[in-house]
């Protein structure tokens, strides 16, 4: 399954209609048993109407599926799934209830190969689910799990609720794939990120819907592969909104995500690995209740922000890089207010283009501006390089100082045009060579 492009266009309205989502101009009814309080907004209010999804999100191509199987599915024995699809099988279920209780004998096997999952797709099998409710109550009891190249799941208006630890709502490993349109997803315990990939990676695409995590170490999104969400409303009470582990990626479009700690967190669990992960955000909001909006921890990372995203860093920075990490951030049509910072031994380069603007404080940041973009200081700041400053005589017009000093390294690459001199900033203040 291909990853989503930067903007989601084309074929979406046709896909919605063919998939049966367009009924009377709105979404068909979804199961509301998502583990959230009854005061939670409806999927239509949270995630947008079908027409909004069609405008913003590339939805899965409709494809022929078998007739839906009738009846409910359940399993209570340890290590058993309620519904298994494998060996090249193609199956479909409709408005069924799939329930799973009983603990896994190995949470590692549950995480890597889907042991004890309520729904397990493997061996190149495929499963289509429409209007289905999935509930699990055991440890290591994932909701819907696809593992192995060629194994795939296609979900529409599905509710998935897990209660135990190490129990993701949606999980993909070893090259599997999963798409979901307007899902209602929730996890209630620890180590249970809602939308996740694990060993061997995989590809997940979610359009619309809601995702809620209430347990410790449980993010909304946890990627060891490629995860793309569009029009998703998601929150984690005690962990990040999105985690990128290693050289993998998360892409969000027109989504509203909230982390109880950081917003997006890029790191590596492998000692000595420098990562190479990517976090891309087009529009939408990213809120960190107790941390940084984007936090790069000891790895190299690429950050792409475009289409007027809103970042709320809470008590932290807009972008923070630490522990000898390095990050390259590209801002297009983006206006932010807050701190951009890299600690000693770390690096952060920030490129502003297409009428972007940052108001706040810079600390150890490499700065590059095009002639449509600006920086406004809220305190004394430091930069390694300052490329693209618009110099008129002894004044720089696209950096507003407000009486503050921006210190730069005259020997850094790209600073030669400044000739090691000091300059007046618009609105008062100084660009000063260190």
Contact indicator for 201, 222 with CB cutoff of 8 Å: no
Each residue's pLDDT tens digit, 77-104: 999 999 999 998 999 999 999 999 999 9
CA 77 – CA 372 distance, rounded (Å):
63
Each residue's pLDDT tens digit, 220-241: 999 999 999 999 999 999 999 9
pLDDT at 17: 35
Each residue's pLDDT tens digit, 125-140: 999 999 999 999 999 9
In this structure, are strands 202-207 and 176-181 parallel, antiparallel, or unpaired? parallel
The reported pTM is 0.88
In this structure, are strands 395-400 and 423-426 parallel, antiparallel, or unpaired? parallel
DSSP-derived secondary structure letter, 143: S
Q: Is residue 24 classed exposed, middle or buried when 0-12, 13-18 and 19+ CB atoms within 10 A define those classes?
A: exposed
* Phi, psi for residue 56 in degrees, rounded to 5: -105, -25
Mean pLDDT of the 286-293 span: 98
Each residue's pLDDT tens digit, 139-170: 999 999 999 999 999 999 999 999 999 999 99
One DSSP character per residue, 21-46 reads --BTTBPPP----SSS-TTSPPHHHH
One DSSP character per residue, 343-402 reads -TT-EEEEEEESS-EEEEEEESEEEEE-TT-EEEESS-EEEEEEES--EETTEEEEEE-T
Contact indicator for 210, 184 with CB cutoff of 8 Å: yes
User: Which residue, among 331, 338, 279, 339, has the nearest Cα to 309 in the 3D structure?
Assistant: 331
Burial 183-207 (b: 16+ CB within 10 A, else e): bbbbbbbbbbbbbbbbebbbbbbbb
Joined tokens for residue 307? 């289409």
Each residue's pLDDT tens digit, 69-80: 989 999 999 999
């Amino acid at each position: 399954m291909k990853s989503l492009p930067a903007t989601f266009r084309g074929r979406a309205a046709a896909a919605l209609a063919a998939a049966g989502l367009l009924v009377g101009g709105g979404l068909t009814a979804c199961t509301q048993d998502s583990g959230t309080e009854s005061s939670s907004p409806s999927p239509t209010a949270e995630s947008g109407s079908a027409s909004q999804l069609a405008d913003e999100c590339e939805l899965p191509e409709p494809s022929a599926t078998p007739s839906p199987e009738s009846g409910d599915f359940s399993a209570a024995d340890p290590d058993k799934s309620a519904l298994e699809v494998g060996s090249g099988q193609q199956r479909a279920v409709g408005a069924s209830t799939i329930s799973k209780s009983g603990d896994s004998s190995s949470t590692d096997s549950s995480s890597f190969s889907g042991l004890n999952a309520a729904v397990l797709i493997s061996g190149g099998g495929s499963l289509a689910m429409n209007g289905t409710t999935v509930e699990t109550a055991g440890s290591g009891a994932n909701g819907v799990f696809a593992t192995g190249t060629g194994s795939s799941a296609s979900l529409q208006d599905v509710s998935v609720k897990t209660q135990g630890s190490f129990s993701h709502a949606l999980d993909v490993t070893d090259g599997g794939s999963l798409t979901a349109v307007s899902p209602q997803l929730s996890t209630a315990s620890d180590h249970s990120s809602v939308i996740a990939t694990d060993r061997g990676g995989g590809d997940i695409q979610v359009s619309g819907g809601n995702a809620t995590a209430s347990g410790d170490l449980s993010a909304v999104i946890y990627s060891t592969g490629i995860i793309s969400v569009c029009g998703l409303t998601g929150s984690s009470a005690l962990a990040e909104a999105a985690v990128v582990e290693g050289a993998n990626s998360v892409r969000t479009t027109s989504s509203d995500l909230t982390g109880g700690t950081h917003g997006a967190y890029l790191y590596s669990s492998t000692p000595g690995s420098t990562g190479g992960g990517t976090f891309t955000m087009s529009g939408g909001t990213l809120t960190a209740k107790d941390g940084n909006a984007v936090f790069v921890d000891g790895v190299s990372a690429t950050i792409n922000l475009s289409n007027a995203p809103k970042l709320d860093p809470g008590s932290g920075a807009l972008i923070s890089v630490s522990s000898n990490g390095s990050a390259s951030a590209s801002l297009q049509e983006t206006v932010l207010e807050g701190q951009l910072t890299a600690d000693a031994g770390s690096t952060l380069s920030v490129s502003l283009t297409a009428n972007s603007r940052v108001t706040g404080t810079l600390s150890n940041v490499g700065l590059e501006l095009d002639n449509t973009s600006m920086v406004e200081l809220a305190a004394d700041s430091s930069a390694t390089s300052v490329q693209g400053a618009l110099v008129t005589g002894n004044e720089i017009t696209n950096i507003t100082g407000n009486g503050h000093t921006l210190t730069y390294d005259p020997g850094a690459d790209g600073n030669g045009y400044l000739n090691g001199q000091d300059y007046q900033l618009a609105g008062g203040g100084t660009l000063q060579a260190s």
